[in-house]
Structure 1
Amino acid sequence: MRIVITGGFGFLGRQVADALLKRRTLCGAPLTRLVLADRFVPADAALTADPLVDVVQGDLTERLDEIFARPVDVLIHLASAVSAECEADFDLGMSANLDTTRALLDAARAQGAAGGPLPRLVFSSSVAVYGSDPALPLPPVVSEATLPTPLSSYGTQKRVCEQLVAEYTRRGFVDGRVARLMTVAVRPGKPNAAASGFLSGIIREPLAGLPATCPVSPDLRVALASPRRTVEGILRVAEAGRGSGPGELAGALPVNLPALTVTVAEMLGTLRRVAGDAVADRVTLTPDAAVEAIVGSWPAAFDNARATALGLLPDESFEAVVLAYIEDHPEAIASADLPAAGAFGP
């Protein structure tokens, strides 16, 4: 099985690639090649040492011939411009998100039309497809049956791409499935341009000994998923069969990956409880109306029934999320001023 991951060297791309290389299978078939496509390839990318990995570097729309030079069985499309940069640069978002996805779908369609295998395409969408329209406010709990009315350029682009994936699937051009990602926290590494990036930063930076700013009200409720649960969800959606039985995808609706609902105050309280006052005090409240307008437009409470039917569950608690981050990224933790006893929980 030849699998392609776009955005293969981004945070989620590396996580999904690592999981696949550990498993060596998908959909019950052995992994024969894993193609990581990205504009930038880090010089120290450890994934490239695996003999199953091929790298395609450059603008995705200019590398489609190379990607499809051999049959693609599964395509996991993670490459995307993120929320805040799409709001700041409309044309960038339309090109990186909408135009690139359309080109990818057309290349996948051409493969089938030429007699190749029908590609299974997994599109990573976002909670940002939802928004509370004055004429149609969001219900207290959102499900896949809730009408998406995005209130950001990023959310609009993701919603349009969802509809394209559904249409190409209806016409038999691809076997498309859509996983709507919650805000992923805690992300390792450097801050990115996502409006929701602070939800990782207010945990990651203090644990690393650095100051962090929180641009929203502590009362804001958000829907989160850990990197572990997010990767699990993407791969489960990729593997799911079509049908109405257990573990199968019924109908054409996207799957909202399971969400843990917390307030920002609860997140900061967890940091204080787990890592101590010295760490938690590195966070300062610095209101930013633009960030709060974007993140605050997203729903915070979800009906997880569709994900549960696939065997997916939300994170147990935000404390479990923080402890998993510490376990997975010990090199990113500055422990000198942490409590001597009881640091990182009981």
Structure 2
Amino acid sequence: MRIVVTGAFGFLGRRLAGTLLRTRTFGGAPITRLVLADRIVPPPDSAMAADPLVDVVHGEVFDRLGEVFAEPVDVLFHLAAAVSAECEADVDLGMRANVDTTRALLDAARAQSAGGGPSVRLVFASSLAVYGSHPAMPLPAVVSESTLPTPQSSYGTQKLVCEHLIADCTRHGFLDGRVARLMTVAVRPGKPNAAASGFLSGIIREPLAGRPTTCPVSPELRAALSSPRRAVAGLLRVAQAERGAGPGRLDGPLPVNLPALTVSVAQMLATLRQLAGDAVADLVTIEPDPVVEAIVGSWPAVFDNRRAAALGLEPDPDFASIVRDHLTDHTGTS
């Protein structure tokens, strides 16, 4: 079984690839090759890149399709993407990185199947940003997969376009498409990125590392969060679920909203204060940014998790557990 992960050296990509390398199986079958594709160069001491099971494809995925599909692809996790704030600032960048690249992957998967190769199981990392609240059409108090997506950002629009393309290709039998809508994943380690939601990690990660940071939204803002551990578990569960109706199965090419923990920024900061003390919590300063607040504030915060629960997926129990996971996994690396 040959598995491809795009965006493999990004934050979630590394965790997903690491999990696959630890198990070395997918759906009970042995993984024969794991292709890690990314424009990011892996560090010279990367144990993942040096693993004998791994092939590294370096460069923009759009330009490296020949290498990605040099041999038949059985499973493709498509995580590579331009993120929310940079897509809002540069629509053309978002269209190229998100829509054009996804369509190119779909075309390559379709060509493989049409040429007698295996049907690709394509797992797409979408986002809660496909939903958006507008005064003329506000979101319901609780959002589910049956809620009409009305994105209020370029990033959300691009993700929704890709969802529809994947569903249509699946309907035609070109591939086996699966869409997992990720919640805001926190706490992300490393340096801040260009995601509008990045502050939801920064207001925890930076103070824990002894660095001051700003929070660009009102403390009353609520967000739907998932720990990195739960996000990766969700991607793998959606990828490996059997098709069909009933608990534990995927019914058609319908998206799955991965489970969400709803928490306010004020609750996050209170948890930080409780776990790390006043000196750490006081490193966070509230400095509203209307652009960030408009994007993140348009996203839903409360989700009906029943579809995910039917697959055996549950949200994090509380925000304190998310912070403790971060401290366990990344102490000394933040």
Provide the TM-score with structure 1 as the length reference: 0.95
Aligned to 2:320: 319
* Counterparts of 1:61 and 1:232, CA distance in 2: 27
Q: State the AA in 1 paired with 2:173.
A: G
Q: Does 1:41 align with 2:66?
A: no
Confirm or deny: 8 A CA contact 1:76 1:121 kept in the other structure: yes
Distance 2:289 2:203 in 1: 15
The answer as to 2:21 corresponding to 1:21 is yes
> CA offset at residue 22 of structure 1?
0.8
Quote the Cα distance in structure 2 between the aligned partners of 1:46 and 1:294: 37
The CA deviation at 1:251 is: 2.8
Which residue pairs with 2:168 in the alignment?
A: 167
Aligned mates of 2:26, 2:186 — CA distance in 1: 26
Match of 1:32 in 2: 32
Q: CA shift at 1:252, angstroms? A: 2.5
Equivalent residue letter for 1:168: C
Equivalence map 1:1-80=2 (5 Å) = 1-44=1-44, 45-80=46-81
> What corresponds to 1:344 in structure 2?
none
Alignment of 1:184-203 (within 5 A): 184-203=185-204
8 Å Cα contact 2:5/2:36 also seen in 1: yes
- Displacement of 1:7 in angstroms is 0.4
Question: Per-residue deviation at 1:136?
Answer: 2.1
Would the aligned equivalents of 1:207 and 1:332 in 2 still touch at CA under 8 Å?
no
- The corresponding residue for 1:336 is none
Structure 1: unaligned runs, 5 residues or longer:
334-346
How does 1:135-150 map onto structure 2 within 5 Å? 135-150=136-151
Is residue 88 of structure 2 the alignment partner of residue 97 of structure 1?
A: no
- Matched with 1:266 is 267
Q: Which amino acid aligns with 1:306?
A: R
**Paired residue for 2:236?**
235
Task: Single out whichever of 228-237 and 244-253 deviates more from structure 2.
Answer: 244-253
1:206 and 2:218 matched: no
Identity among equivalent pairs (%)? 73
Aligned equivalents of 2:140, 2:253: Cα separation in 1: 22
SS at match of 2:134: coil
TM-score, reference length from structure 2: 0.98
Aligned to 1:328: 329
- Mapped partners of 1:11, 1:282: distance in 2: 25
Instruction: Note the C-alpha offset of 1:316.
Output: 0.6
Larger displacement relative to structure 2 (250-259 or 198-207): 250-259
Distance in 1, matches of 2:18 and 2:40, equals 18
Greater shift in the superposed pair: 222-231 or 57-66? 57-66
**1:18 Cα shift?**
0.4
How many Å apart are 1:46 and its aligned residue?
2.5
Q: Which amino acid aligns with 2:47?
A: A
What is the root-mean-square deviation of aligned Cα atoms in Å? 0.8
Residue by residue over 1:286-311, the C-alpha shift from the partner in whole angstroms, topping out at 9 and shown as x without a partner, is 11000000000000000000000000
CA contact (8 A) 2:134 2:298 kept: no
Instruction: Show CA shifts across 1:130-172 (max 9, x none).
Output: 0113332100000000000000000000000000000000000
Asked if the contact 1:75/1:120 (under 8 Å) is kept, the reply is yes
Moved over 6 A (4+): none
User: Take 2:158 and 2:117, find their aligned partners in 1: how far apart are those partners?
Assistant: 29
Which range is displaced more, 291-300 or 52-61? 52-61
Query: Could you say what secondary structure the match of 1:63 adopts?
Result: helix
Residue 331 of structure 1: SS of its match in structure 2? coil
Distance in 1 of aligned mates of 2:213 and 2:133: 29
1:222, distance to aligned residue in structure 2 (A) = 0.4
Q: Distance in 1 between matches of 2:52 and 2:244?
A: 35
Residues paired across the two proteins, number: 333
Offset, 1:243: 0.5
Aligned-pair distance for 1:250? 1.3
| Alignment partners' CA distance in 2, 1:31 and 1:245 | 28
